Structure 1
Amino acid sequence: MRSRRWSLAAQFLVWQLLALLLVLGVVAAITVQQSTEDFRSSRQTRLLAVAESLAATPVVRSELVEGGNRRALEGQIGRAASLSGARRVQLVGLDGTVAASTDASETGTRATLGAPVAEGRSWSGDLSIDGEETVGGQAPVIGDDEEVLGTALVVEDYPPWSDRLLEAAPDLLLFLGAAAALGAAGAFGLSRLIRRQTRGLEPADIARLADHQEALLTGIHEGVVGVNGVGVITLVNTSAQELLGLDEGDVGRSVTDLDVHHGVAAFLAEAGDSDPTLIVVEDRTLVLTRRRTFFDGRAVGTVTTMVDRSDLLALQSQVSAQASITDALRAQTHEFDNRLHTISGLVQLEEYEEVVALIADVNRRRTEISDAVTRYVEDPRVAALLIAKVTAASEVGIDLSIEPESSLPRLDPAAAADVITVMGNLIDNALDATRANGGHESSVRLTVEPGGAPRIRVADTGAGIAPEDIDRVFERGWSTKPTGAAGRGIGLALVQAVCSRGGGRVTVMQGDHGAVFTATLGGVELQTTRRGEVPDECDR
C-alpha cells in the first residue's frame, strides 16, 4: 500500500518546529550560562563580605592562634554559615591547615584556598573542592599587631544544572509557545502562498509533473513554444528549437527580441486563439496553431504548436497537379463519349462521309490545341497540363488562350512540378471566376526571365476581388467559393507556399477587367492575372 505523503504545510510546520527546538536548545544553554554568571557574580560579593565580617570578629582575631579556644571559633563559624547560607565556612591557620570548620572532620586538614594565607589579601572566585565546582570568598584575619593570623573562607556550591534550567523554564516555555504559534501561523501562510503559486500542487506532484512534461515535450515531434501574458518565452521544446533555430538560452526573453522569421515572431506575439497558419521559413514550410492557456478563469499566456509540412506540401503539390490533369481528362472522356455516340449514330445511318468529316474536325481541333500549347511550351509535363486545361475550358464555353509572347523551355522534374502546381491552381481560380461572372475569356502568359526562372500570367473576365479582401487572398481557408466547396481556401495558399519556398513571391494587382496575380519561383516573378476590382498591388 502506498504511504501517504505529508502535505506542504505539514512539512513546513515540522521543519520550523525542529528549527525552533534547535534555537530553544541554544537559548536554554545561553540562559543557563547567564544564570551561572549571575549566580557567581552575586554570590562572590556576598561570600566575600561574610568572610571579611568573620575575619574582623574580635573573637576570631583573639582565638585564631595556637592553643586558642576552638569552641569559640566554631560558634562564630556556625553563626556566619547561618547568616550567609553557605555550605562550608572555615578558619584556616597561618600554616594552611583548617583550625575550625562547619564540618568537624575537616579540622587539621589542608585547606583549599584561592590565595596563600601569607599574602594577607582578600579573594573571591571559583574553587574546586573534592572535584566539585564551588564559589567562595576569602579574607585575611589580622591581629592587633597588624600581622596575618590566618584567613576566613566561606564557600557555597553551584546549584545543579537541572535547578538552573527549571529556574529558566517559565521564560523558555513562554518563548517556545510564542515561537511555535508564530511558526505554525507562518508555515500555514507560507504554504498557502506557495500552493497558490504552484496551482495547489504538492512538491511530489510538481516533481512528477515536471518529469512527465519533460518527457512529453522532448518526445513529441511537434514544436511547442509557450509565451506568458507579457510576451516572454517560457517554454521551447527540442523540436521547436530545431525548427526555429532557438536554444534554451532564449527562454525568458521577449518574443520581440528573438532572432526568428518576422512572421513567426508576429504569430507568437499575438494573444488570441488561431486556426492553422502556414508560414514559410527558409526551406521549411511550417504550420502553426496557437491556443490560449487559462488558470482560475483568466488567460495566463499562449501555447503555440508547429509542425514542418515541407514534405507534405511537395506531395500536395504533386497531388494537386495530378488532380487537375485528372479533371481535365475526365472532361475529355465525357467529350469523346459524346463524339463516339455521334459517330455510332452516323454509321448506323450509313452517313460515312459525315463520319469522316466529324473525325477530321475532332482531329483538327486536337491538333490546333496541341500546336497552340507546344508552340510556346517545350516542357511536356507543363504542356500536358495546359492542353487539358484548354480542353476543359472549351467544354464550359471559356476560351483559355496562351498569349503569343509566352515561352517556357524544358524544366527539371522538381521545377516542372512546382510550375504545374502554381499554374494549375491559378488557372482553376481564373476559370471559376470567369464562369461565376458569366465571362468567356481567360489567358495565360508564360515567360522565362534571364537566369532561367519561369514567370506565368493568367487573365480572366471574372468579377475580381473586393478591396477589403485583398489582404486575405492568400490566407489558408479563405475563399470566395461557397462554404463546403472542394479545395476551398487551399489553392492560393498553396501557390504562396510553393513560391516562397523557392525564394520567390506572389502578388495581386488590378487588371483591365479583373485581378492580376503575380508569383515568382526561384526569386523571379511568376505572374497570374485575374481582372477585377483590386485597386492596388498587394505584395504578399
Structure 2
Amino acid sequence: MRSRARHWSLAAQLLVWQLVALLLVLLVVAAITVQQSTSDFRSSRQTRMLAVAESLAATPVVRSELVEGGNRRALEAQLGRAASLSGARRVQLVGLDGKVAASTDATDIGTTATLAVPVADGRSWSGDLRIDGTRAVGGQAPVIGDDEQVQGVALVVEDYPPWSERLLGAAPDLLLFLGAAGVLGIAGAFGLSRFIRRQTRGLEPADIGRLADHQEALLTGIHEGVVGVNGSGVITLVNTSAQELLGLGEADVGREVRQVDLHPGVGDFLVAGGDSDPTLIVVEDRTLVLTRRRTYFAGRAVGTVTTMVDRSDLLALQSQVAAQASITDALRAQTHEFDNRLHTISGLVQLGEYDEVVALVADVTRRRTEISHAVTSHVEDPRVAALLIAKVTAASEVGIDLSIEPESRLERLDPAVSADVITVLGNLIDNALDATRSHGGREVSVRLAGGPHGLTVRVADTGPGIAPEDIDRVFERGWSSKPAGSAGRGIGLALVQAVCSRGGGRVTVTQGDHGAVFTASLGGVPAQEER
C-alpha cells in the first residue's frame, strides 16, 4: 500500500523539523545572549556610575555650593563635565528635601528625584532604577559638607541600550552557529531518512500513519462503538465496542446492513443516511444512544459513520428522577386542592357559618377516605398507592374520573421494582389524562396485576386514540401527538418502553372502544394486548 501522492518525503520532513528545532535553539541562545549582555552592561556601568557620582559629590564646588542660595551656574558646569566624561544620560544634584537642585535636564529642577536610598541616609548606592518609565542603571553618592553633615546626594544615571542593539552585537556568532548547524542538519536528515526507509520497506510517514490510524485508532482505540456504512448500505467498519454492543463480528464487515442480524431500529438508523441528532434505542438489556454523521471524500458524500454509547446506567437514574418528579407533580396538585379548601373554610369562618365548615370538613374527609380506600384496597405497595391517590386527585381537578378496575391487585414490591412501576404508571396516566382532556373525554381506567416477580399495567383512556399509521411510531423518542414545543414532548412513552425492555418486559398500544389502551409488563410477565 505504497502511496504515490507524496507531498513531503521523509528527508524533507526531517530537515524541516531540524531547522525548526535549530531556530528555536537560536531564539533561546539569542535570549541568553541578550540577558548576558544586559548583565555585563549592568555590572560594568554600575561601578562607573558610582565612581562618577562619588567623584562629583567630592568636588569642592559641589560641597560648597549645594546649599540654599548657592551658585547654580557653577554646579551646572560640574554636572556637564561629569556627564561628558561618563556618557551618562542624566546627572542630578539633590538637596536634603529630595528635590532636584541642579540637573543636566533643566526640566528636572524642582521635581522630586527618583532615589533608591533616602538623602538623609548619607550612604552610597548603585543598581537599577526606573525613571520616567525607562529602565536605567545608576550610582548615588552623598555630598558631605565641611561640617561633616550631609548636604544632598549626587545621582548619575545611564539608560540600558535597546535589546536590538545588544542582539546585534552577538549577530555574527549567531549566524555562524545557525549556518554550521544547518549544514550538519541537512546531511544528518538525508542519512537518517535513508536509514529509516530501509527499516520501513520504503513506506513514508504518511503511509505508516494511515495504516496505524485505520487499524488501531478506529477499530480498537475508541471507547464508543463505531459503525461505518457506505453509500450502498454495506458495512465497511465495525470497531470492538460496536461488536460488543450490537453482537456483530469481523465477518459482518463487507455485508449489507439488511443482511445482518440487527435490531430493526438499529438497522434502519444505520442506512437512513444524513446527519442525525442523538437517538435512544433499546437493544435487549442495553439502552443505546446513537448519532449518525455523513462522511465526505473530495467533496463527495461516500457514506455515514454512526457512533453509539451504552446509557443503561443513565436510564436507571433518569427512571428514578422521573418517578420522584411524577409524585412531586401529583403532590403539587393536591396542595393546590387543599389551598382552595382552606380558603373556603377561612371564608366560612369569617362569615360565622360554622355548620358549613363542619360539613365541608366532613365532606373532604369522606372524599379523602373514599379515594384512599379505593386505591389501598387494590394496591398494597405504599409508593404506588401514594402515586395513584395523588393522580386521582389531580384528575378530579380537571374533571376526569380516574378509576382502578375492580379486578386489579398489586402486592408490595421491592423498592427498585416500585420505582420502575411508578415511572411506567405515572407516564402512562399522564399521557392518558392529556389525551382524554384534549378530546373532551371524562374517564381513564387503570388495571394492575402481579407482584415482585412480574406485573402488568393497563391504562385505557377516552381520548382520540392512535391513528393506525402511527401505532408503530408511538414509542419512538421525539414522536408525540402534542404540539411542538410542549414540555416533555416525545420523552414519556420512549422512557416507558426503555424501562419495560430493561426489565425483560414490553409495552404495547391498541385501539380500544373509546380511545387508546396501553399495556406494559415488567419483570418478565408478557403484556397481553387488550381492547
- For residue 432 of structure 1, the aligned residue among 415, 431, 434 is 434
Question: What fraction of aligned residue pairs are identical, expressed as a percent?
Answer: 79
Kindly indicate whether residue 401 of structure 2 is the aligned counterpart of residue 391 of structure 1. Answer: no
Q: What is the Cα deviation at residue 271 of structure 1?
A: 3.6
Contact 1:509/1:516 (<8 A) preserved: yes
Give 1:513's aligned residue: 514
- For residue 8 of structure 1, the aligned residue among 6, 9, 25 is 6
Q: What is the Cα deviation at residue 248 of structure 1?
A: 4.7
Tell me: CA distance 1:9–1:369, structure 2 relative to 1, closer, same or farther (3 Å).
closer
Q: What is the Cα deviation at residue 220 of structure 1?
A: 4.2
Give 1:239's aligned residue: 241
Unaligned runs of 5+ in 2: 11-202
Q: What is the Cα deviation at residue 426 of structure 1?
A: 0.8
Separation in structure 1 between the aligned mates of residue 462 and residue 365 of structure 2, nearest angstrom = 29
Tell me: CA distance 1:413–1:250, structure 2 relative to 1, closer, same or farther (3 Å).
same
Contact 1:459/1:528 (<8 A) preserved: no
Deviations, residues 482-531 of structure 1 (Å, cap 9, x unaligned): 111111001111111112222222222121111122222233234798x9
User: Secondary structure, in 3 states, of the residue corresponding to 1:264?
Assistant: helix
Separation in structure 2 between the aligned mates of residue 324 and residue 395 of structure 1, nearest angstrom = 16
Contact 1:453/1:521 (<8 A) preserved: yes
Q: What is the Cα deviation at residue 209 of structure 1?
A: 5.1
Contact 1:255/1:265 (<8 A) preserved: yes
Contact 2:218/2:239 (<8 A) preserved: no
- For residue 316 of structure 1, the aligned residue among 318, 321, 333 is 318
Give 2:461's aligned residue: 460
Q: What is the Cα deviation at residue 471 of structure 1?
A: 2.0
- For residue 403 of structure 1, the aligned residue among 402, 405, 411 is 405
Deviations, residues 307-334 of structure 1 (Å, cap 9, x unaligned): 1111111111111111111111111111
User: Secondary structure, in 3 states, of the residue corresponding to 2:403?
Assistant: strand
Separation in structure 2 between the aligned mates of residue 471 and residue 429 of structure 1, nearest angstrom = 17
Give 1:364's aligned residue: 366
User: Secondary structure, in 3 states, of the residue corresponding to 2:409?
Assistant: coil
Tell me: CA distance 1:290–1:344, structure 2 relative to 1, closer, same or farther (3 Å).
same
User: Secondary structure, in 3 states, of the residue corresponding to 1:315?
Assistant: helix
Separation in structure 2 between the aligned mates of residue 311 and residue 516 of structure 1, nearest angstrom = 29
Rg (Cα) greater in structure: 1
Separation in structure 2 between the aligned mates of residue 404 and residue 205 of structure 1, nearest angstrom = 74
Contact 1:518/1:525 (<8 A) preserved: no
Separation in structure 1 between the aligned mates of residue 317 and residue 8 of structure 2, nearest angstrom = 60
Contact 2:280/2:290 (<8 A) preserved: yes
Q: TM-score, normalised by structure 1?
A: 0.57
- Please tell me the residue identity of whatever aligns with 1:255: V
- Please tell me the residue identity of whatever aligns with 2:512: G
User: Secondary structure, in 3 states, of the residue corresponding to 2:522?
Assistant: coil
RMSD over equivalenced CA pairs, Å: 2.9
Contact 1:456/1:527 (<8 A) preserved: no
Deviations, residues 421-464 of structure 1 (Å, cap 9, x unaligned): 11111110100001101111111011228x94211111221111
User: Secondary structure, in 3 states, of the residue corresponding to 1:8?
Assistant: coil
Give 1:488's aligned residue: 489
Q: What is the Cα deviation at residue 359 of structure 1?
A: 1.6
Contact 1:444/1:528 (<8 A) preserved: no
Give 1:171's aligned residue: none
- Please tell me the residue identity of whatever aligns with 2:434: D
Give 1:471's aligned residue: 472
- Please tell me the residue identity of whatever aligns with 1:278: L
Deviations, residues 348-393 of structure 1 (Å, cap 9, x unaligned): 2232222222222111111111110000001111111111110100
Separation in structure 2 between the aligned mates of residue 203 and residue 464 of structure 1, nearest angstrom = 66
Contact 2:280/2:289 (<8 A) preserved: yes
Tell me: CA distance 1:316–1:341, structure 2 relative to 1, closer, same or farther (3 Å).
same
User: Secondary structure, in 3 states, of the residue corresponding to 1:362?
Assistant: helix
Separation in structure 1 between the aligned mates of residue 247 and residue 491 of structure 2, nearest angstrom = 28
User: Secondary structure, in 3 states, of the residue corresponding to 1:378?
Assistant: coil
Tell me: CA distance 1:256–1:466, structure 2 relative to 1, closer, same or farther (3 Å).
closer
Q: Superposed, which structure 2 residues align to 1:44-55 within 5 Å? A: none
Give 2:15's aligned residue: none
User: Secondary structure, in 3 states, of the residue corresponding to 1:444?
Assistant: strand
Tell me: CA distance 1:9–1:304, structure 2 relative to 1, closer, same or farther (3 Å).
closer
Deviations, residues 2-51 of structure 1 (Å, cap 9, x unaligned): xxxx9627979xxxxxxxxxxxxxxxxxxxxxxxxxxxxxxxxxxxxxxx
- For residue 281 of structure 2, the aligned residue among 254, 275, 279 is 279
Separation in structure 1 between the aligned mates of residue 368 and residue 528 of structure 2, nearest angstrom = 27
Q: What is the Cα deviation at residue 289 of structure 1?
A: 2.2
Q: What is the Cα deviation at residue 301 of structure 1?
A: 1.5
Give 1:333's aligned residue: 335
Q: What is the Cα deviation at residue 257 of structure 1?
A: 5.1
Q: Superposed, which structure 2 residues align to 1:83-482 within 5 Å? A: 203-208=204-209, 211=212, 214-215=216-217, 218-248=220-250, 250-256=252-258, 258-448=260-450, 452-482=453-483
User: Secondary structure, in 3 states, of the residue corresponding to 2:410?
Assistant: coil
Give 1:143's aligned residue: none
Separation in structure 1 between the aligned mates of residue 362 and residue 519 of structure 2, nearest angstrom = 39
Deviations, residues 227-254 of structure 1 (Å, cap 9, x unaligned): 2233333222332233224455544444
Q: Which moved more, 1:241-250 or 1:274-283?
A: 241-250
Tell me: CA distance 1:254–1:528, structure 2 relative to 1, closer, same or farther (3 Å).
closer
Contact 1:459/1:516 (<8 A) preserved: yes
